[in-house]
Every structure is written in structure tokens, then in C-alpha cells.
A and B are shown apart, each in its own frame.
Chain A
Amino acid sequence: MATSEGFQFPKEHSFPPFYTPQINLSTRHAQLTKWSSLILSYCRHHSIYRLSLSDATNSPSSPAYPLFNNEAINRRLSPSYVKEIVNFMKKDGRAEWYGSDKNEGGGGDVVWIYWRTPEEWAGVVEGWVEETGNKGQVMTVYELTEGETTRGSEFWGLDQELLIKAIQVLAKKGRAQTMGGEENLGVKFF
């Protein structure tokens, strides 16, 4: 488990039937719940914001590969079951198909894993803006995720698209306004 990098897998990860979709409905529900919380804590630990399901299940180079494949006990999760788990998480608002909000259909291969939802990220950003006295300032998305001023904040290194989703949440509440083009999106906080 060299790639798990300090992540302590729970015991069910070494439980062989955990990788077989359970027949019994209530067992299945318990299993989905366990997978959901495992995926969330794994992604949080590794700062993973979105997953390609085909990579995560098939390609050992994917950071999420050790999550869905336990080579020590020779068990793996099938892509179709991962899909079911993702749809289960979606009901709790903890996952979203990438592009599903842009009329691209969704249900594809890439999925947002919301160990923090855009709303929760919006709260984090808002808290930072208030704490650091950046109200009224204009900042670019790049500055927010990569810049020197935000280094050490929780959203430093955050997926830019996810940050934009969070900013849109703030904009809807009238706490921020976006300006500029796609390439160099700026934000003004109120």
C-alpha cells in the first residue's frame, strides 16, 4: 500500500465481500454507506476533487487506484458498482457528474467528489475574505488558488473549476461578483 501515503484504510477495505455488490438490500445499503464515507475521507486526505472512474478502477497510476483495488486480498471494485456508489453519493450531495451542470449530459467518466460541497467551499472562502480583510478587493481565481496571499488557507491548491463553483454560490448570495473572461476570471468580494 505504498501509494496510500499515510491514509489509514478502515477494516472493511480488507474485507473481501466489500468488493461484491451485496444481494440483500439492507446489506447493500450499509455497504454503499461505508463506501461513500471511505471515498470521501480518502479524497479529503489526498486532496482529490474529481475522479476519472475508468482511471481509478483500471490504471495503477491514478491516485485513487488503491482505493478501489486491494491487491493484498486480490479484490477490486467493478466500474459499474463504482458508478452505483457515485449515484448513491449524489443523493446526499456528495458527488456530481462532471459537466452535468453544463448541459453536457453528465453520467460520463469524471465525477466531482464533494468532501466539501461548493456551498461549503463558499463558506470557507467567505470566512477567509472576512478574516483577512479582503472585502472589496478584486482577485483572480489564479491568485486565490495559487497565489502567495492565500498560501496556507484551506482552499490553496483547490481545483480552479471547483473554486469557480464556490464563487458562483457567493455571487448568487450577492457576496461576490465575477468579472473578466474565462481565461483570467476575477472576483470582487463584498
Chain B
Amino acid sequence: MSRKGVGLAAFDRSRLTSASYANHGTALRTTNAQALETQLSVFRSLLQQFSQQHGKEIRSNPSFRAQFARMCTAIGVDFLAASASHEGGGGKGGDSSIWGQLLGRTVNDFYFELAVKVVEVCSKTRGENGGLIDVRKVRELLQLRQENQMGTGQKEGGGLTEDDVLRAVGTLKPLGSAYSIVKVGSKPYIRSVPKELNTDQSAVLEAAQVLGYVSVSMLMVNLKWARARAKTAVEDLVGEGMLWVDKQAGGEWDYWNPGFMMEGQEGVGFGG
């Protein structure tokens, strides 16, 4: 038990104590802040140096780019979100564009340019696939395009990975666009029309993704669905332009995944 001061001096004493606590606190905080600032500026300049030194490699070497992206994620730097919100938000302070500045614009420019190409592919193929396209396919198409361009003199640019495509789609999010990644089965797809798939439709797409096509009776047998349920799901997807009808299969109609049109020759040969 402490003895409480009773006189007027006790007020002074307590005021003094709290003042000195406050002083000490401020001092501690400043040193802390200074230390942090130094650390941050060191880190900043290092990161900047790194991205400047390796900017070319980040652009051209897909595995290096993936490593760099992974490193940024590991240390909590989401360079894409940071720079994208800067573009969209409009002057939310230096805080929002900091990574964009740090990384010398190389990395995010890479992904923004890629995003533009992804959008082109999606809108060009929307008629045939209803706005749902396999990420792998997008990557293949873009890679092909890049190789064709390289034929006409451009030497820069190595490969593209699916990871790059996924990140590029991520950069579109702040624009309030309809572009998003959906999983069909285990595979990521880019959806470029704002449409929710119900679970039945996803199941049908998943089956069509594996087999190339489905029919109502196949769905009835494999998923133990009633005819009406299978028919509804399939017809909905045809209505969305996500499946193509084949009426020449000999009996029942087959419903094909349009992705198989772009696939290698192993996609065909059955049916009929």
C-alpha cells in the first residue's frame, strides 16, 4: 500500500510525473519512428534498385517474374493493388501509389499491358464461348500472338505463365469491370460477362471440360440427375452461349465445350 500525499504538493508531483512520462513517451516514439523511417527508406531504395536492375528480366523471364511476385507477396507488398487503386482512386495520398513508384512502373506496366491483351482475347472470343474462357487457353493464345510478333523483329519478351494472366485479370478489378476468375472444377476460367453460374451449371461445365461434351443422359447417369434437371442446366448454358449443340451425333444431342475447338487434335475423334 502506498501512502497518498495529502498536501497541495501532491498535485504538483503527479503533474510532474505524468509530464515526464509523456516526455519519455514522445522521445521513444520519435526514435522508433526514425528507426522505422530509416528502415523503410533503405528498403525502398533497395527495392527500387532491384526492380530497376532487374526490370528487363521481370518483363522477359516468366519464372523470375513469378519469383519476384511471390517475394512481394511474402513481404506484404501487393504492388498491383497499390498501383491500381492509385489509378482509379485519384489522389488518395502518396500512400496508394508508393509501390507503383518504387517498382519503377516496370512490373505494373507489364501487367496492365497484359490485362489489355486479355480483355482483347476475351471480347474477341465472347461470341463463341459466352464469355467464359479457360485461363490456360488465354495464355496459349497470347503466347502465340507474342511469338508471331517476335517473328516480325521484336526480340523482347519470353514466355507467359498462367499466373501472369491471373494477376493481369486482378488488375482489372478496381475498374469495376465484369472480369473475374471463376473456378470450374479445378481449373481457373476468366469470366468476362457478369453472370453467376449455379452449382448445376458448374457441374455440367466441369463434365464438359473433362470429356469435351455432355448429353442429357450422360448427366442423368453420372450425376444421378432427373431428366428435367439435366435438360434445364444444359439448355441454360446453351442460352448463355457457353455450350455448342451437335445434332449429328446419331441419337441424342451432344453439348460441346467450345474450348475444344481451340484445343489440339486430341480433343476430337470421339462422338458419332
A residues engaging B (CB < 8 A)? 11-12, 14-20, 22-24, 26-27, 29-31, 33-34, 72-76
Contact = CB atoms under 8 A, between A and B. Distances in A.
A24 B238 contact: yes
A26 B129 CA distance: 9
A11 to B, nearest CB: 6
Nearest to A16: B246
Interface of B: 126-128, 130, 213, 238-241, 244-249, 254, 256, 258, 260-265, 267-269, 271-272
Contact of B248 (A12, A16, A29, A30): A16
B248 A27 contact: no
Contacts, number: 77
Contacts of A27: 127-128, 130, 238, 241, 244, 258
B261 A23 contact: no
A21 B129 CA distance: 15
Contacts of A15: 244, 256, 260-261, 267-268
B248 A20 contact: yes
B128 A17 contact: no
A187 B218 CA distance: 66
A22 B248 CA distance: 12
Given A31-B128, A73-B268, A11 B245 contact: no
A20 B247 contact: yes
B127 A29 contact: yes
A20 B245 contact: yes
Contact of A14 (B238, B249, B258, B268): B268
Q: Give chain A's interface secondary structure class.
A: helix
A27 B257 CA distance: 12
Given A11-B262, A11-B267, A27-B241, 10 more contacts: A15-B260, A15-B268, A16-B246, A16-B254, A26-B241, A29-B127, A34-B128, A72-B269, A73-B271, A76-B248
Contacts of B264: 11
Contacts of A30: 127-128
B131 to A, nearest CB: 10
B242 to A, nearest CB: 9
Given A11-B261, A11-B263, A22-B244, A16 B271 contact: yes
Given A16-B248, A20-B247, A74 B272 contact: yes
Contacts of B130: 24, 26-27
A24 B241 contact: yes
Contact of A74 (B240, B248, B256): B248
Given A15-B256, A16-B249, A23 B238 contact: yes
20 contacts: A11-B264, A11-B265, A14-B265, A15-B261, A15-B267, A15-B268, A16-B246, A16-B248, A16-B268, A17-B244, A17-B246, A20-B244, A24-B240, A26-B241, A27-B128, A27-B130, A27-B241, A73-B268, A73-B271, A74-B272
Nearest to B269: A73
Contacts of A11: 261-265, 267
Contact of A75 (B128, B238, B262, B272): B272
B37 to A, nearest CB: 57
Contacts of A29: 127
Contacts of A73: 268-269, 271-272
Contacts of B128: 27, 30-31, 34
Give me the 6 closest cross-chain CB pairs, A-B, nearest first: A30-B127, A17-B244, A30-B128, A17-B246, A74-B272, A15-B261
Contacts of B245: 17, 20, 22-23
A179 to B, nearest CB: 46
Given A11-B262, A73-B272, A17 B256 contact: yes
Nearest to B249: A16
A16 B256 contact: yes
B261 A19 contact: no
A66 to B, nearest CB: 16
Nearest to B268: A14
B2 to A, nearest CB: 83
Contacts of A31: 128, 244
A16 B272 contact: yes
B127 A26 contact: yes
